[in-house]
Copies of this chain bind each other. A is one copy, B any other.
Amino acid sequence: MSGWLVIAGLGPGADGLVTPEVRAALAEATDVVGYIPYVARVAPRPGLTLHPSDNRVEIDRSRHALEMAAAGRRVVVVSSGDPGVFAMASAVFEALEAGPPAWRDLEIRVLPGITAMLAAAARAGAPLGHDFCTLNLSDNLKPWALIEKRLRLAVEADFAMAFYNPRSKSRPDGFRRALDLLKTACGDARPVIFARAVSTPEEEIRVVPLPETTPEMADMRTLVIVGASTTRLIARQGGPIVYTPRSVPA
């Protein structure tokens, strides 16, 4: 048997957002590896071994997946959203680069998924309809000073911004500092979208003018989008539509 490794994105939560390509890979797999809540989204079946693991063991998990593929297993590493956006693909390649040279001969494929910012943007309207940037607000793997520098430059570039991992119990203060910086640097009431658990039964979408935002509006399951200076609101029943026009006048 010839093993392979697939790094697949399950999308933000709803079954209707899992691509057929990812479903097909899961149907052929012998082993599924990933963070506990993501592996829980894969239906058990005879011949399939599930390997759920805890958060923050991404490199161990990657090595385990590579070892199994090298031993001839058909392994799918699952991520929420898209595996290439603040998820497992980079971790697997870090492990691959540091591992035995023979691992480089493995068949490895990355299968894209609907990442949280696209699902959140779709729920709110089209806030990412013009140039934008995408930041991980966690300072677990980079200095906080770099996050602040990137926020300032993103404001200067007038990008809309999507924030992953805005806030967690172990990092309660960073998001407050990020909001304070943005309130000062933007100096306007542009809309901020707090999209929690998009496409799941717990989904909540809030649109709040930047000066009225508070850190408590985000948690670990929230994707935050900050509009550009050009981002607009269309008032309507049931909540506004937020969109960024395609044009910037000369």
Footprint of B on A, CB under 8 Å? 11, 14-21, 24, 58, 82-87, 89-91, 93-94, 96-97, 104-105, 108-115, 118-119, 121-123, 125-136, 141-143, 146, 149-150, 153-154, 156-159, 232, 234-237, 241, 243-248, 250
Contacts and interface: CB of A to CB of B under 8 A. Distances in A.
A82 B118 CA distance: 8
A137 to B, nearest CB: 10
A16 B21 CA distance: 5
Contacts of A85: 118, 128-129
Contacts of A248: 141-143, 146
Contacts of A127: 84
A150 B146 contact: no
A246 B141 contact: yes
26 contacts: A16-B20, A16-B24, A19-B19, A83-B122, A84-B118, A85-B128, A87-B129, A89-B122, A89-B129, A93-B234, A96-B234, A104-B236, A110-B122, A110-B126, A112-B118, A130-B136, A131-B135, A132-B133, A141-B247, A141-B248, A142-B247, A146-B248, A150-B157, A150-B158, A154-B157, A157-B157
A45 to B, nearest CB: 19
A182 to B, nearest CB: 15
Nearest to A240: B104
B234 A104 contact: yes
